[in-house]
Chains A and B, each alone.
Chain A
Amino acid sequence: MHPPAPAPFTAFLRRRLLTGALTLWAVVTLIFALVHLLPGDPAETMLARAGAAPAAVAALRAELGLDRPLPAQYVTWLTNLLRGDLGISLFNGRPVAALIREQAAHTFALAGVAFAWALLVGLGLGLAAGSRPGSLRDRLASALAVTGVAVPVFWSGLLLIWLFSVRLGWLPSGGADGWRNLVLPSFVLGCASAGPVARLTRVSLIEIFDQPYILAARARGVPARRLLLNHVARNAVAPVLTVAGLQLGFLLGGAVVTETLFNRPGLGKLLVDAILWRDLPLVQGVALVVALTYVLVNLAVDLAAGWLDPRAGWQ
């Protein structure tokens, strides 16, 4: 059986954009479904702690439109969403979209800088390990990567706060007033996802070093540095990029823990507070924004990987 001829990039682009749009719609629908189809009445769940009277539950149901038929609720949810209306927070009565807009920048800054750390540390370790498999350097770097996967963010973060904020007093342990507040949280979060990046980089490098074209390049006398940059690195970019994209999802999730740990404002903190307050519209809104961001990032990563390495995603 012959592999099918590679499709042109535009066809790949069109198909990937279509599946991306489908995923976006599915995510929106799933979040709606989770809230409405799961056993238990959201209004009762929200008022549960207060031991609320049936009248209060009914009033909340009416206020949230939960007493209307499901398809009608679904249509309202979609049309409101398209207008950027995510509903009203039950806790403080402000529009959910506005609350999210205020917090999003903090989280995106955190996740962005953390991503840079993850790439820096992950690629560095992976390169150190994968370019000399089996060496002491490889074993040290691999051990560090495994440890990075095993140490939970909330513990490594506490240790760093203890060292740099409590003992040395070099960096603040919380807040979000400037770049100094970003150093510790982004480093902690970034290192947590550097492990998988390092492991994949290592594996990709080892695999590529085994390929005939590397042997051919070696035979031609290509110097080691150029071999690594032009022949090995270029081929390793696509898989590493894909895993890095998945890590961004982890970063968005990990931001929840990191923001709580460092007392930073952000979407993660907003989500945790929303859950503690049982503020369902807010939970729904934040979850939606985080999930949609994740889908969009992965879409962008897939497109970039496909563009960089035609073998990666065009089949």
Chain B
Amino acid sequence: MTRLRRRARQQPLAALAAGVLLAILLAALLAPWLAPAPPDAIDLAAQLAPPSPAHPLGGDFYGRDLLSRILYGGRVTLLVATAAVTLAMVVGALVGLLAGYAQGWLGQVWVGLIDLLLAFPALLLALLVVALMGPGLTALAVAVGVASIPGYARLVRSLVLTLRSAPFVEAAVALGGAAPHILARHLLPAVVSPLLALATLDFGRAIISAAALGFLGLGAAPPTAEWGLMLYEGRGYLATAPWASAFPGLAITLTVLAVTILGDALTGPPPAVNRGRE
């Protein structure tokens, strides 16, 4: 606990970001208790209504309470992003371990596959997956996740390449350890912490991608409350009810900003400081 406190004092901005993120996660988690109304409850008097005591963030076109929808919407957006990052991290780490550990042409094949995925713009890859899997939240999570697999694979592969000749790995090989054992017991634990740091940064990208697909009408389906979809629904009323799109966008931006600042702090001091000494 004291270590955490010391770190917070050293990096006040990151501590603030962590606090904001925690608050957002809690708000989404506790939405059923915090929200003034169910996300799909319609109050005709609140149609495109400006923020007021009854509806703190105003109402949308159908008269649904925006604050409630943002609280509930966070659950969908954050859940999809979490699922996507987990998928990408697990698959990416696996591919990276294999690509880094396999000798000869097999390693090259894996590297080729990673490079091939990188040859696609991330959002294009996500759109392709949605096009082929059809709508739905599972497809959304897979689509968002697939695009960041190569990033993890590259990171893990480069770590494994340098670790393979480390004394503790060579010792394990000399003792007759089989490849799966060495991968799981010796290499995997060594790559976990940089992997998690990358995942933090990636979480921000996943939130934006998930919301972007929602905004395109290819993510969560109405009447689900989802941040990207809410922006899409609100954008038609920019002149009369700017709050209907402003607040969901603010929620996305705030979350991603907190995640990015936290991720930056976790990935260590800015690379310039490290690289300059190599």
Give chain A's interface residues, CB within 8 Å of chain B: 23, 26-27, 30-31, 34-35, 38, 40, 42, 45, 48, 133, 146-147, 149-155, 158-159, 161-162, 166, 173, 202-203, 206-207, 210, 249-250, 252-254, 256-257, 260-261, 271-272, 274-276, 278, 280, 283, 287, 290-291, 294-295, 298
- Least CB distance from A252 to B in Å reads 5
Closest to A38 in B: B132
Selected contact of B215 from candidates A146, A210, A252, A260, CB within 8 Å? A260
Closest to B213 in A: A257
4 smallest CB-CB distances across A and B, nearest first, come from: A155-B249, A253-B123, A253-B121, A150-B257
Closest to A251 in B: B121
Selected contact of B124 from candidates A159, A162, A287, CB within 8 Å? A287
Contact (Cβ within 8 A) A150 B272 = no
Question: Which of B112, B235, B256, B259 is the most central at the interface, judged by chain A CB atoms within 10 Å of its CB?
Answer: B235
Give chain B's interface residues, CB within 8 Å of chain A: 112, 115-116, 119-124, 127-128, 130-134, 204, 208, 211-212, 215-218, 228, 231-232, 235, 238-239, 242, 245-246, 249-250, 252-253, 256-257, 259-261, 264, 270-272, 275-276
Closest to B257 in A: A150
Question: In whole angstroms, how far apart are the Cα atoms of A162 and B237 in the complex?
Answer: 10
Contact (Cβ within 8 A) B130 A207 = no
| Complex contacts, A155 vs chain B, CB 8 Å | 231, 245, 249-250, 252-253
Contact (Cβ within 8 A) B260 A150 = yes
| Complex contacts, B134 vs chain A, CB 8 Å | 40, 45, 48
Contact (Cβ within 8 A) B246 A159 = yes
What are 5 A-B residue pairs whose CB atoms fall within 8 Å in the complex?
A26-B112, A146-B257, A158-B249, A203-B271, A272-B217
| Complex contacts, B246 vs chain A, CB 8 Å | 158-159, 162
Question: In whole angstroms, how far apart are the Cα atoms of A150 and B254 in the complex?
Answer: 8
Contact (Cβ within 8 A) A154 B120 = no
| Complex contacts, B119 vs chain A, CB 8 Å | 23, 26-27, 291, 294-295, 298
